[in-house]
Chains A and B, each alone.
Chain A
């Protein structure tokens, strides 16, 4: 004898479950793979610059006002705890991005657009512009030790800018008419015309050379990361399709 249903919500249809599985599986694979490679790229190219900056942040090194300082100090090597956590958090972050991207891929496909690994390169670039380049244009990637406005204010500006850029990227990709392109341009420009929260005064002790290198490295690795993420997401989205349909 079957028990009476106590749930007030309708059970998910098999098609909905299949779609859910396909989104989650492709996003997990794509996010973990892209996140792992990104973490290694960051440890190789970004982390040494960050550790170098921290020597000035802590006051261990001081430039100007004293004797010239070597630009090549000895930096700490691989730290299992610290860098291990960085790898885990990078994989988590890119898995979060992948969930958003693959969900949008499913919407694009339901509107008749074909999503492949090749198309994923463009998806990745759009994601890079949305989550990394657009906020970085006014809130440049910060090296430790720079002066900055209140973190909560900057997070609000960051979130609003990412939301605006994300909508703009979708309109550019799928809008298909002049009005949507115009709205996209306005959404891309507006956060930077309004301006991000800025510090009252400059107090950063880190040499400008290190700050500039850090921003360039963060953006460069970020772009590589997003292109990988888009390619993997498109690839797994396709490869999960037949299996899901056959199941």
Chain B
């Protein structure tokens, strides 16, 4: 019964949730890793260097 429900729900789901999550995730990474606004840059400075983003 549970398996049936699972299969049914999996089949009814399109790409929308995955697409939304990818866009949200890349948006967060862009904010923490790339945006050059000085407040963001200063706060994320050490992380950008340590995580291998181009920093300044």
A44-78 with Cβ < 8 A to chain B: 46-47, 50
Provided the pairs A110-B10, A141-B52 are in contact, do residues A92 and B20 lie with their beta carbons within 8 angstroms?
A: no
Classify chain B's interface size.
35 or more
Beta-carbon contact of B17 and A154 below 8 Å: no
**In the complex, are the beta carbons of A107 and B25 less than 8 A apart?**
no
Q: Are A99 and B25 in contact (CB under 8 A)?
A: yes
| A107 touching B18, Cβ below 8 Å | yes
- A218 sits at the interface (CB 8 A): yes
Q: Which of A46, A93, A148 neighbours the largest number of chain B CB atoms within 10 Å of its CB?
A: A93
Q: Is A236 an interface residue (CB 8 A)?
A: no
The SS class assigned to the B binding surface is helix
| A238 partner residues in chain B, CB cutoff 8 A | none
Q: In the complex the two chains form, is A99's CB within 8 Å of B21's CB?
A: yes
Q: A86–B43 Cα gap in the complex (Å)?
A: 7
Interface size on A, residues (CB 8 A): 62
Q: For A154, list chain B residues within 8 Å (CB).
A: 54
Report Cα–Cα, A86/B42, bound state, in Å: 10
**CA A82 to CA B46, docked complex, whole Å:** 9
- List residues 14-47 of chain B with CB under 8 A from any CB of chain A: 14-22, 24-29, 31-34, 36, 43-44, 46-47
Contact with B along A72-98 (1 / 0, CB 8 A): 000000000011011001101101111
**CB nearest neighbor in B for A82:** B46
Q: Which residues does chain A contribute within 8 Å of B47, judged by CB atoms?
A: 39, 42, 86, 89-90, 93
A residues within 8 A CB of B5?
245
A205 within 8 A of B: no
Give A residues with C-beta under 8 Å from B: 12-16, 18-20, 23-24, 27, 39, 42, 46-47, 50, 82-83, 85-86, 89-90, 92-93, 95-104, 106-107, 109-110, 132, 135-136, 139, 141-144, 148, 151-152, 154-155, 158-159, 214, 218-219, 221-222, 241-242, 245-246
Q: Show the binding face of B for A, using Cβ within 8 Å.
A: 2, 5-6, 8-10, 12-22, 24-29, 31-34, 36, 43-44, 46-47, 49-56
